[in-house]
Amino acid sequence: MTAAPQPGAAGFLARYQGLKDHLPGARLPWLAALRSDAAAHVAARGFPTRRVEAWKYTDLSPVAQAGFAEPLTAVAGALTLPKPRCAVRAVFVDGRFRADLSALDGLAYRAASVAQHLDALEGMLGALAPLAEHPMTALNTLMFEDGLFLDVPAGVDAGHLELLSIAVDPGRPFAFHPRHVIRLGAGAKLTLLESAIGGSAQYLHNPVFEIDLAEGAVLTHGRAQQEGEGAFHLSMIHARIAAEARYDTMAVSAGARLTRMEIHAALTGPKASCHMNSAQLAAGRAVVDTTTALDHAAPDCASRQTCKTVLAGQARGVFQGKILVRREAQKTDGYQMNQALLLSEEAEMDSKPQLEIYADDVKCSHGATIGALDADSLFYLRSRGVPADQARSMLVQAFLHEAFEGLEDDVLREALTAAVDGWWVRHGTAS
């Protein structure tokens, strides 16, 4: 019987000390330097407390106090994978790439394990992910073992790819920190469906994405987080969007006991655009947090954001959305809307829109609402014979509707709708 792992940042640092010669890329000087830099940040700051402004509303102490071991080195037995939604599929089990479960052959672009291609990632991995401001990015950089490396050459339309993360219950809490690096060359295109499932396992899933879109590239990124009630899901996206490139993301958070989906996106060239929509759903005592920062650093760029939060039971929701419009970002077109629907009187929502505008010729609007289901609407449906549960479900879907607007890809739409429907089946009728 081994001793319980030490909790908090100290636990991760101790594990790093023990593992560092065995972590992938341990012999690459640039990576060793990056990891030791990360170690210094983790040692100095640890897990953020609520006194840190960016973490004012989401309490990470349940994560900081838990002791996480390593994932199992080999997962025994057959895994039941969900039905593939795309022909091209990269499967990760406990954060490790599984070639045997993936389907990545014969592609016109590179889709491979980060761990196996670290020599090709110098100068790329870490380039968009500042450690100082982002404690979870620092922890990921310290501990990551694997992730998905997607490199789509200029002009290639890569079609659809599914990135599936599965966590398998080893009977004790564990942590994994996938590092995904995605690069689209000029004019390249990719539709990425990211999904995460995890059954009853107790774990921390701490993925970091570095997304670099060259001129005119288009990345459409659907995200379905459907992990179990024992999961902490803290994900971070660092994205750089060049001139005329487009990054569209639509996320559904419909699982885990604590989810934070954080995005930092910079529009760095003229006419770049970013849509980031999300639907976050929580019941019981779960916490969902959408935190975003959009940096308009070039003229004529557009950003649109719709975040919808549905809370049942004693769940808590957080929305923090910052839009920075730099002096040079004239003719910026920015829109942000965040709305919460509280299905119970004990649910709570915190929302913090933040506009910082230094350019004078911009169009930026934002709005926020918090409310309950409308009694008149509910009665109208019921008076037409629709049972109360179904009527509530229809109104919740209607509430989420705008977040799904503009999601034209059928594969993404179906997957994300199914994530919402699954949540409703598990939690909706009780609320």
Partner 1 sequence: MLEIKGLTAEVDGKPILKGVDLIVPQGEVHAIMGPNGSGKSTLAYVLSGRDGYEVTGGTALLHGQDLLAMEPEERAAAGVFLAFQYPVELPGVGNATFLRTALNAIRRAKGESEFDAMQFLKLARERMKALSMNDEMLKRGVNVGFSGGEKKRNEILQMALLQPKLAILDETDSGLDIDALKIVADGVNAMRGPDFSALVITHYQRLLDYIVPDRVHVLMGGRIVRSGGPELAKELEAQGYGAIQAAA
For binding to partner 1 (CB under 8 A), which residues are involved?
375-377, 379-388, 390-391, 394-395, 397-402
Tell me which DSSP letter residue 82 carries. Answer: P
Q: Which is nearer to partner 1, 361 or 376 (CB)?
A: 376
DSSP run (H or E) holding 141: helix 135-143
Half-sphere exposure for 356 (CA within 13 Å, toward CB):
12
Rounded CA separation 241/329 (Å): 14
Q: How far is the CB of 410 from partner 1 (least distance, A)?
A: 17
Report in angstroms how near the CB of residue 48 gets to partner 1 at its nearest. 36
Copy the structure tokens of residue 202. Answer: 């107790």
From residue 96, how far is each of 75, 85, 109, 181 by CA, in Å?
A: 10, 20, 21, 14
Asked whether the beta carbons of 318 and 57 are under 8 A apart, the reply is yes
Closer of 108 and 398 to partner 1 (Cβ): 398
CB of 323 to partner 1, least distance (A): 25
Residue with Cβ nearer partner 1 (357 or 394): 394
Residue whose CB is less far from partner 1, 382 or 426: 382
Tell me how many degrees the CA angle 92-93-98 measures, rounded to the nearest 5.
55
Give me the least distance between CB of 395 and partner 1, in Å please: 7
Total residues found in the chain within this entry: 431
Kindly tell me which of 87 and 430 has the beta carbon lying closer to partner 1. Answer: 430
**Contact partners, residue 231, CB within 8 Å, separation at least 6:** 167, 198, 201, 202, 203, 204, 205, 255, 256, 257, 258
- Comparing CA positions, the residue from 71, 53, 233, 45 lying closest to residue 139 is 45
Please identify, using beta-carbon distances, which residue of 314 and 390 lies nearer to partner 1: 390
Q: What 3-state DSSP class applies to 98?
A: coil
> Residue 288 CB, nearest distance to partner 1 (Å)?
21
Minimum Å gap between C-beta 378 and partner 1 is 9
d(CA 41, CA 139): 8
CB of 391 to partner 1, least distance (A): 8
When the beta carbons of 330 and 377 are compared against partner 1, the nearer one is: 377
The CA distance from 330 to 342, in Å, is 38
